[in-house]
A and B are shown apart, each in its own frame.
Chain A
């Protein structure tokens, strides 16, 4: 267990550590619109960076030592000059109180340098505190898992087995019902925004700046992680309820801005969509030159918009109902409940697997739901070939087709069919005339 919880601890620690980044992004977004807050932003960046990356900062401090000393000595000499007339004891008292007030004033006025100077002391305390808090949280969650007898426990155990995600993580996820309010596709190398989509009234101010900032932060964090851990990238950056889900894929970063942490299911949904985008547009992404008036950008944005808008249809309520019903059952009949869980999980994973194989074979993101003993397929196709592939996969299964296809594609198919018929007609009449000639 310690292995697993250590890993989740690490995840949780990451989430906590990058809390402020997001807050910072938001601040920058609104502030940079006026482009007047250079000093303030630098302050904020400094604070954020300083607070969290003690190793890097210790190094930085060591290198810029002369600067820091210069600043500190400037104030110290003033203080000493002020109090030097009294005796030694008086001087030390004077120093104590003056230092306290100078410190608080200087932290106000000259944040970077003061934090630079104080950081080595504070940094360790902060990270120890954070680590402790996380450990307590994880302990209490693990306790819940061990003590709690509930249906969800078994459901979770099975889900953990099937999905390979730790139970603790699943427990953490069970409370969330996250909505994506923005999606960004960012060119990895240059940090330039390729396309974006937002929920209505949830537009992110100055998305191009935010994209560059996000990519710089991602560069920075990855660089830092590469030097400190084996893990190769950060995926989830959270602040309070706000969460950035960052997927690094080929030549782009795709970022989902959410109002809560996505659960396992949602993450795989997002991933499927991301995979679809990357597969479809990888050539375009690779050669992106900063010009967002390209046709591909328009189509891409529309797709992303459709994905965001589709969230409303799959309302979180149905999920909750399922959970509370499950809870209710456990008090009624433990055995029956266990059976129910088994079916639920089985069904869920059968559908999930089906979705995955549909995606693999067609490249289309298709949702599979179940009504009684009939499967329903939802999603958008872009070609008839995809449709035929799906029919082949679904052979022998009872299913209703709720798939959509652009009209042009159907028109196109009809016109090619017509052409084929025409060709056949010509062939037929040719054959006929040859036969006639032979006779």
Chain B
């Protein structure tokens, strides 16, 4: 079987761990338990009648004062960058994460999750940022979560 390492990156409290729980366990919790270090999960995925496995590294949220050990980035075949759509600082923070990732893993695919889309009202939902490979997700209401992971998996494994 072919296995690949995938990263989840983004500021703290944006919903990285929640997205994985939604994707793998099909559950959601309002409780916020910050991740310390790394939490690893795995998920099999079938693409074109082949089974692949993703080892997903859910990495503790970065803060302006503390960056993530670079070694966590190493050897990743793809990444999901997560921002909280209701907190603009986490959206602005995306580029720094993407830059580090691109630097350490050149030419690897990635997707962006603007998470917590359920917190926006209809009016606000009309003015969403427009970006390549972006998904507007909600771990709470199960919106676009499956699509997010599947899209990345396709880019990685159908290479």
Interface residues of A (CB under 8 A from B): 32, 35-36, 38-39, 41-43, 45-46, 49-50, 59-60, 62-64, 67, 112, 187-192, 208-209, 212-213, 216-217, 219-220, 222-223, 289-293
Contact = CB atoms under 8 A, between A and B. Distances in A.
Contact of B40 (A43, A50, A59, A213): A213
B39 A38 contact: yes
Nearest to A57: B36
Interface string B59-85: 000011110011110111100000000
A291 B55 contact: no
Contacts of B40: 209, 212-213, 216
B107 interface: no
A63 B71 contact: no
Given A38-B17, A290-B2, A290-B4, 19 more contacts: A32-B41, A38-B41, A42-B36, A60-B66, A62-B65, A64-B12, A187-B75, A188-B75, A189-B75, A190-B74, A190-B77, A192-B3, A192-B55, A208-B42, A209-B55, A217-B37, A219-B74, A289-B2, A292-B1
A39 B33 contact: yes
B77 A216 contact: no
Given A38-B21, A63-B63, A67-B34, A223 B71 contact: yes
B24 to A, nearest CB: 6
Say whether chain B's binding surface is mostly helix, strand, loop, or mixed: mixed
A208 B36 contact: no
B107 to A, nearest CB: 14
B53 A212 contact: no
Interface of B: 1-5, 12, 17, 20-21, 24-25, 29, 33-42, 53, 55, 57, 63-66, 69-72, 74-77
B36 A112 contact: yes
A112 B37 CA distance: 13
A60 B57 CA distance: 20
Contacts of B24: 35
Say whether chain A's binding surface is mostly helix, strand, loop, or mixed: helix
B65 A220 contact: no
B97 to A, nearest CB: 17
Please give me the 10 A-B residue pairs with the lowest Cβ-Cβ distance, nearest first: A189-B75, A190-B75, A219-B71, A223-B69, A190-B5, A216-B38, A63-B65, A189-B74, A290-B3, A212-B40
Contacts of B69: 219-220, 223
Contacts of B76: 190
B38 A220 contact: yes
B5 to A, nearest CB: 4
Contacts of B71: 219, 222-223
Given A223-B69, A223-B71, A290-B4, A42 B38 contact: no
Nearest to B53: A208
A291 to B, nearest CB: 5
Of the listed residues A63, A112, A191, the one surrounded by the most CB atoms of chain B closer than 10 A to its CB is A191
A117 to B, nearest CB: 13
Contacts of B12: 64
Contacts of B2: 289-291
Nearest to A39: B33
